[in-house]
C-alpha cells in the first residue's frame, strides 16, 4: 500500500488494512500480509510514527528514502502537486522495495492513494492488481471519473485558460445539482497550473486501474455507488471494478496528547451539550476567522471544545508544513478567562474519536473532510458544515441537502481580501440552531439513523463486509 504524505491520508490506509486482515487473515491456508510503503520529504511526523509503530503483527511499513527538491526549479507549494511530486521522486526506491518484497513473498496487489496514483504503473511491471483506495466518498469519485470529459467538452483550448462551466453541474448518482463554487477547488485553478494538471491527470488515471476501493456504504451513497458500478458516470467509461467497504474509521486515537484533559472535561458536562470544533489534520483558517469563531462561541452561551491551530491564509497549509507558534496566542484578548467555565481550548491536536464517542458531545463543527464526517456519522453526532478546500464543499452539500445530517452557517456576501468571513453572529446562530431548534433535532435524528445503518454495513452479512469478502476473493483467485 502506498499512501501519500500526511498522517491524515495514512489513517484510512491503516484502518482499511486492519479491517481486511481481521476478516481475511486465513483463507484456505493463505495468509495476507500488508506492507505500507510510505513516501517521505523530510523526517516523518511524530503522529505518523505513532500510527505505524502500533501496527498489528501482520502489517509492517517501510519509510521510503526522503526525497529532495533541491534540483527542482520552482517546486510546487500547493499540497496536491507537492504530494504528487514527492511520490514521483520516490518511484525508484518504491520499485526497489517492491523488488525486494517480491523475492520473499507473493505479491497480489498494489494499493495507492488517489494522489499516489503515479505508483500504479509499477503494478503492471510486477503483474499484480493496480488498486486505488479512494478515501473520499462515492459522490466525489463520480465527479472525479467524469471530470476529464467535462474538461474536454467545456474548454476552448485556443482561447480559454479556465474551466467554463454552467451555473450548476450534475453528478451521476447524486439527486441534487452542485453550484460551480461547490466543486472541488482544484478545478478552479488555471488549466495551465500544476494544481489543475495534477488533479486532471489523477482523474484520467482512475479509469486505467483494475480496482477502486471506496470508503462509503450503500445506505449512505447507494445511488452514486450504483452509478459508478454500472459505469454510467458522465464520462461514459466502464472503468475498474468498484468495492464499497466503508465506513473505515479509527476505533481509538493514535496519539495520547490532550486525551486525559479532553475526556475528563467532557465527563463533567451535560449530555449532548458540547460543540466540538476541529478543521482536520490539514485545515487552517485566517486570524480574522479565528476571532469571529471565538466571539461567536462566547456569544452563543453553549459549551465548546475547540482544537485550534495557528492561522493561515491558505486553508490546507497544515498538511505538509508544521508551524511552531503557540496557537493560543491568536485568540482574542481575555477570551480564555471569560470562557473558562464554558469551554476548553486545546492547541493543535485532540483525541477526536474519544470526543465524538462521548455522550456530552452534541455537535461537530467540521471542515467536512470525509474521514471526519464518517467518524461523526458513526457516532451519531450532527455536523455544522464548514468546508475549506479539496472536495469538502461537495461533501457539505451532500451532508446538508441530501443526507440531512448537517446544518450550515448563513453566510453574508461580505468579503475581506477575497475570503468570505463568517461573522460571530452567524457562528452563534448556527450553534443555537443545531443544539436548540426543532431543525437541529431532525438533523440529530437523521444522523442516528445513518449511524445505525453504518453499523449494519460492517456486520457479517452487511453490504460493506460482503464487498470486502469479494475483494479478498478476487485477490485470492490471482494466486490460485
Domains within the chain, CATH numbers bracketed: 7-246+460-477 (3.40.50.2000), 259-455 (3.40.50.2000)
Per-residue cell: 444: 440529530
For cell 517492491, the residue is 98
Q: State the pLDDT at residue 142.
A: 95
Q: State the pLDDT at residue 434.
A: 98
Does 416 score more than 50 pLDDT?
no
Using an 8 Å Cβ cutoff, are 368 and 385 in contact? yes
Please tell me which residue, 71 or 141, carries the higher pLDDT value: 141
Please tell me which residue, 465 or 314, carries the higher pLDDT value: 465
Does 318 score more than 70 pLDDT?
no
* 154 confidence band (pLDDT: 50, 70, 90): low
User: Between the ranges 193-207, 250-264, 425-439, where is the mean pLDDT highest?
Assistant: 425-439
Render pLDDT for 95-149 as a digit per residue (tens, 0 to 9): 999 999 999 999 999 999 999 999 999 999 999 999 999 999 999 999 999 999 8
Using an 8 Å Cβ cutoff, are 294 and 277 in contact? no
Query: Cβ atoms within 10 A of the Cβ of 289, count?
Result: 20
* Cα distance between residue 227 and residue 170, in whole Å: 13
Please tell me which residue, 436 or 280, carries the higher pLDDT value: 436
Distance of CA 108 to the CA centre of its chain: 26
Q: State the pLDDT at residue 230.
A: 83
Q: State the pLDDT at residue 233.
A: 44
Using an 8 Å Cβ cutoff, are 273 and 302 in contact? yes
Give the pTM. 0.92
Q: State the pLDDT at residue 50.
A: 87
Q: State the pLDDT at residue 160.
A: 61
Q: State the pLDDT at residue 418.
A: 45
Distance of CA 45 to the CA centre of its chain: 18
**Least confident piece of the model among 102-106, 190-194, 419-423, 452-456:** 419-423
Using an 8 Å Cβ cutoff, are 331 and 308 in contact? yes
* Cα distance between residue 87 and residue 107, in whole Å: 21
Q: State the pLDDT at residue 420.
A: 77
* 206 confidence band (pLDDT: 50, 70, 90): very high
* Cα distance between residue 290 and residue 296, in whole Å: 10
Bridge partners for 277 per DSSP: 306, 365
Bridge partners for 61 per DSSP: 36
Q: State the pLDDT at residue 191.
A: 86
Does 173 score more than 90 pLDDT?
yes
Using an 8 Å Cβ cutoff, are 407 and 442 in contact? no
Q: State the pLDDT at residue 8.
A: 73
Which residues fall within 8 angstroms of residue 324, CB to CB, at 6 or more apart?
none
Render pLDDT for 212-248 as a digit per residue (tens, 0 to 9): 999 999 999 999 999 998 874 444 455 689 999 999 9
Averaged pLDDT score across all residues of the chain:
90
* Cα distance between residue 366 and residue 347, in whole Å: 16
Q: State the pLDDT at residue 150.
A: 85
Amino acid at each position: 500500500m502506498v499512501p501519500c504524505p500526511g498522517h491524515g491520508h495514512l489513517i484510512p490506509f491503516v484502518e482499511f488494512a486492519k479491517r481486511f486482515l481481521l476478516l481475511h487473515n486465513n483463507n484456505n491456508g493463505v495468509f495476507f500480509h500488508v506492507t505500507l510503503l510510505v513516501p517521505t520529504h523530510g523526517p516523518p511526523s511524530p503522529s505518523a510514527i505513532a500510527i505505524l509503530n502500533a501496527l498489528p503483527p501482520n502489517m509492517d511499513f517501510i519509510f521510503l528514502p526522503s526525497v529532495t527538491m533541491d534540483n527542482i526549479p520552482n517546486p510546487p507549494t500547493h499540497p496536491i502537486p507537492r504530494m504528487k511530486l514527492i511520490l514521483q521522486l520516490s518511484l525508484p526506491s518504491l520499485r526497489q522495495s517492491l523488488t525486494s518484497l517480491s523475492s520473499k513473498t507473493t505479491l497480489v496487489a498494489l494499493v495507492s492513494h488517489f494522489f499516489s496514483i503515479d505508483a500504479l504503473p509499477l503494478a503492471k511491471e510486477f503483474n499484480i492488481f493496480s488498486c486505488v483506495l479512494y478515501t473520499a466518498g462515492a459522490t466525489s469519485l463520480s465527479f472525479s471519473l467524469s471530470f476529464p470529459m467535462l474538461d474536454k467538452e467545456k474548454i476552448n483550448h485556443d482561447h480559454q485558460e479556465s474551466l467554463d462551466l454552467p451555473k450548476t453541474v450534475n453528478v451521476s448518482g447524486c439527486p441534487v445539482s452542485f453550484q460551480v463554487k461547490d466543486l472541488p477547488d482544484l478545478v478552479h485553478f488555471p488549466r495551465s497550473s500544476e494544481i489543475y494538471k495534477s488533479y486532471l491527470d489523477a482523474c484520467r488515471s482512475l479509469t486505467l486501474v483494475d480496482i477502486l476501493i471506496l470508503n462509503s456504504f450503500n445506505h449512505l451513497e447507494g445511488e452514486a455507488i450504483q452509478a459508478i458500478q454500472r459505469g454510467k458516470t458522465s464520462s461514459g467509461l466502464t472503468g475498474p471494478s468498484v468495492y464499497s467497504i466503508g465506513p473505515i474509521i479509527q476505533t481509538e486515537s493514535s496519539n495520547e496528547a490532550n486525551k486525559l484533559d479532553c475526556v475528563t472535561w467532557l465527563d463533567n458536562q451535560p449530555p449532548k451539550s458540547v460543540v466540538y470544533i476541529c478543521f482536520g489534520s490539514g485545515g487552517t483558517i485566517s486570524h480574522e476567522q479565528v476571532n469571529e469563531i471565538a466571539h461567536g462561541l462566547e456569544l452563543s452561551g453553549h459549551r465548546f471544545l475547540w482544537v485550534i491551530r495557528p492561522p493561515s491564509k491558505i486553508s490546507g497549509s497544515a498538511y505538509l508544513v508544521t508551524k511552531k507558534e503557540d496557537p493560543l496566542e491568536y485568540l482574542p484578548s481575555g477570551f480564555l478567562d471569560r470562557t473558562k467555565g464554558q469551554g476548553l481550548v486545546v492547541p493543535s491536536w485532540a483525541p477526536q474519536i474519544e470526543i465524538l464517542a462521548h455522550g456530552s458531545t452534541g455537535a461537530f463543527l467540521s471542515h467536512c473532510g470525509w474521514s471526519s464526517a464518517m467518524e461523526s456519522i458513526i457516532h451519531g453526532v450532527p455536523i455544522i458544515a464548514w468546508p475549506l478546500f479539496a472536495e469538502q464543499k461537495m461533501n457539505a452539500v451532500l451532508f446538508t441537502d441530501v443526507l440531512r445530517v448537517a446544518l450550515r452557517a448563513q453566510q453574508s456576501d461580505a468579503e475581506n481580501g477575497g475570503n468570505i468571513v463568517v461573522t460571530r453572529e452567524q457562528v452563534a446562530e448556527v450553534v443555537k440552531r443545531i443544539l436548540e431548534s426543532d431543525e437541529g433535532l431532525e438533523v440529530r435524528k437523521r444522523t442516528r439513523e445513518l449511524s445505525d445503518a453504518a453499523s449494519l454495513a460492517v456486520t457479517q452479512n452487511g453490504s460493506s463486509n460482503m464487498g470486502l469478502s469479494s475483494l479478498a476473493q478476487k485477490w485470492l483467485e490471482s494466486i490460485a
